[in-house]
Amino acid sequence: MTDFETLMRLVAKFHSILGIAWPKPGVHELAGASVFIGTTLFNALADGLNRIESVLENSSCCTVRTKLTPFWHALKRLFTFVGKQDRYSKSGPVDSALNLLYLASGVFYHRLAELSSKQPEMDVHPIEVEEFKELLRLCRWSAKADDVESVFDSLVEEMTACAAELEQAANQGNHLS
């Protein structure tokens, strides 16, 4: 199996698991996803991140290292700062960050599909990544979305800014305690 196939399989699983905690934008009843922080589900996502990172780090493919690694670091950094938030408070910024992670993991899958010459064989019944346009609609992505690559490229900055906001909020919370 190629690096792309392995990555696509792992990213699809990550995206599907994240879909359980994903606070769908505009659906008030599903807000408050911070309750998943520190749970077995959250730990499964962290394990998935480590597996994906291992494939990225051990890849011999230059495209994987140069085009995908910066995006991956931004996604992992954002996930790390989500994990440092208070799971007992309903947090709009955490919900926004998880929405951004859901979008980013789906876009990451679609970007891998564009770069791959072969799609992985997998039982897609429990694993699903929405069609690109549907993913953007579900996550209420309003920024420019000409194609997968343009969204992929813009998400690094978006995830970095979101992680910085969460880090600042966590640091302010530590000073207040």
The span from the first CA to the last CA of the chain, in angstroms, equals 50
Would you say residue 175 lies in a domain? no
**15 touches 67 (CB < 8 A):** no
In a domain? residue 153: yes
40 — pLDDT class (breaks 50, 70, 90): very high
- Model pLDDT for residues 111-120, shown as the tens digit of each residue: 998 988 766 6
* pLDDT-derived band at 60, boundaries 50, 70, 90: confident
The answer to the question of residue 171 being in a domain is no
CB-based contact 5:118 (threshold 8 Å): yes
pLDDT above 70 covers a percentage of the chain that reads: 90
- pTM value is 0.79
Q: Into how many domains does the chain fold?
A: 1
- Determine the residue type at 149: E
**What's the pLDDT score for residue 126?**
59
Domain membership of residue 172 (yes or no) is: no
Residue 173 lies in a domain: no
* Residue-range definition of the domain harbouring residue 58: 3-166
d(CA 19, CA 63): 28
Dist. CA 79–CA 105, nearest whole Å = 11
